[in-house]
């Protein structure tokens, strides 16, 4: 069966289509999917399906350009998270709604215009949240009738809504064509669970259940993230994903900077920023990012541009205040899709509150990486499983 796409990666790449020998495992209920939309949808569906099985809770992912901006399971949101994610403090959220709010909240700037994957039936609670967010589409196993009606009204009726067959099992061999050459490989069906965390190689071997959960979330997320990749996770969700970098330390820095921003968004100075009432949520996300960027915020203040966002001038947070606030966070989990070649990755991760690490191991400098963990009292597991994804 064949489905005609709007176009390929770019509008000039036509014709474009997807096909299978038998029935397609999905149905487009509304809108018309594009090439990148379906790459995001099918990668996202695999991610949330695995998270659902591993955690036993509804899962969600927010995808952009074939990597997750965020992924999460459906744990309840406390008052601080609701405020961080611009959710009404009195809102009653279903587990699927909570999962998506967390997934989008991991990196709200990157999630702007995302493609959403949901492991469970989409209800009105989630659809009502999605109604107000800028998003390109969604894939899920099913939809409540009212929820589907809400989603189909987005983007003037052009919002892409896909129903996935949850019973679908793909062929064991994957194929793709690049420059006229066909590649084949066995599908990555490795199971990610607590068995991967048994080989603790550091002096500190205290790995609590919450850390196991977060490491598993990080590892499953990396399985569907463009490599090289590193993922920070905490409280049942990712808080920083570094994807597609050529060096591992750049992954660790990129994801660590995102984790730092997520932690800083908990700070009262950020939660109480005096936004103008007419400022939409995406602009608030941009303003918060500027506010937490030292040099850029000073430029905004010097040029008087703060008035675009705020009713009064917010004074910058000092570097000392930021460091003191970030020092509160010491229970973050971190996973890497391949081994750490140097201890500098551990040093950078530790600065962002990392205490628990999962990586394949196998570097000629494993001893140096273990030593760096021991110096900071970190717990590190060697999984023996590389998770490259391209």
Give the C-alpha separation, 139 to 100, whole Å. Answer: 12
| Tally of helices (H runs) and strands (E runs) in the chain | 13, 15
| 390 part of the active site | yes
Identify the CA nearest to 244 among candidates 17, 57, 65, 56.
65
Helix (H) or strand (E) holding 354: strand 354-359
**């495992």: which residue's tokens?**
25
Determine which one of 30, 43, 64, 212 is catalytic: 64
Given the residues 65, 83, 376, 389, the one annotated as active site: 65
Beta bridge partners of 60: 72, 118
Known catalytic residue at 389 = no
User: Which tokens go with 94?
Assistant: 């279903």
- For residue 147 the two structure tokens come to 């929820």
| β-strand partners of 183 | 176
SS3 readout for 46-92: HHHHHHHHHHCCCEEEEEECCEEEEEEECCCCCHHHHHHCCCCCCCC
Q: Which one of the listed residues 228, 258, 263, 322 is annotated catalytic?
A: 228
Contact 323, 344 (CB under 8 A): no
Per-residue tokens: 96: 């699927």
34 to 14, 45, 66, 137, 138: CA distances (angstroms): 11, 16, 13, 10, 12
Concerning whether 156 is annotated as a catalytic residue, the answer is no
Q: Reply yes or no on whether 266 is catalytic.
A: no
What is the C-alpha to C-alpha distance for residues 90 and 109, in angstroms, rounded to an integer?
25
Catalytic residues: 64-65, 228, 390
């Amino acid at each position: 069966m064949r489905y005609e796409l709007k176009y390929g990666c770019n509008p000039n790449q036509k014709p474009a289509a997807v096909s299978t020998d038998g029935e397609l495992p999905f149905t487009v209920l509304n809108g018309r999917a594009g090439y990148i939309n379906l790459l995001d949808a099918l990668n996202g569906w695999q991610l949330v399906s695995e998270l659902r099985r591993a955690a036993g809770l509804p899962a969600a992912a927010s995808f952009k350009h074939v990597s997750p901006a965020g992924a999460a399971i459906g744990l309840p949101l406390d008052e601080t998270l609701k405020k961080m994610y611009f959710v009404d403090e009195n809102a009653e959220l279903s587990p699927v709604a909570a999962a998506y709010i967390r997934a989008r909240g991991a990196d709200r700037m990157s999630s702007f215009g995302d493609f959403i994957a949901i492991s469970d039936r989409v209800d009105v609670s989630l659809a009502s949240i999605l109604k107000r967010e800028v998003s390109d589409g969604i894939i899920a196993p099913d939809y409540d009738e009212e929820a589907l009606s809400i989603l189909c009204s987005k983007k003037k009726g052009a919002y892409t809504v896909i129903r996935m067959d949850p019973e679908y099992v793909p062929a064991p061999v994957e194929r793709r064509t690049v420059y006229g050459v066909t590649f084949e490989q066995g599908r990555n069906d490795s199971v990610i669970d607590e068995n991967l965390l048994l080989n603790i190689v550091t002096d500190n071997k205290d790995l609590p259940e919450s850390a196991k959960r977060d490491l598993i979330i990080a590892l499953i997320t990396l399985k569907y993230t463009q490599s090289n990749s590193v993922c920070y996770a905490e409280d049942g969700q990712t808080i920083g994903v570094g994807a597609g970098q050529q060096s591992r330390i750049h992954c660790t820095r990129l994801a660590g900077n995102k984790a730092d921003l997520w932690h800083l968004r908990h700070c009262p100075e950020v939660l109480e920023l005096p936004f103008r009432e007419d400022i939409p949520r995406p602009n608030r996300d941009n303003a918060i990012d500027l506010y937490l960027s030292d040099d850029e915020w000073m430029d905004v203040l010097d040029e008087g541009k703060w008035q675009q966002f705020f009713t009064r001038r917010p004074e910058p947070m000092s570097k000392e205040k930021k460091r003191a606030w970030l020092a509160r966070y010491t229970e973050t989990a971190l996973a890497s899709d391949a081994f750490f070649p140097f201890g500098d990755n551990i040093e950078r991760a530790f600065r962002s509150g990392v205490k628990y690490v999962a990586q394949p191991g196998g570097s000629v400098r494993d001893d140096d990486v273990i030593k760096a963990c021991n110096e900071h009292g970190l717990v590190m597991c060697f999984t023996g499983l590389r998770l490259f994804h391209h």
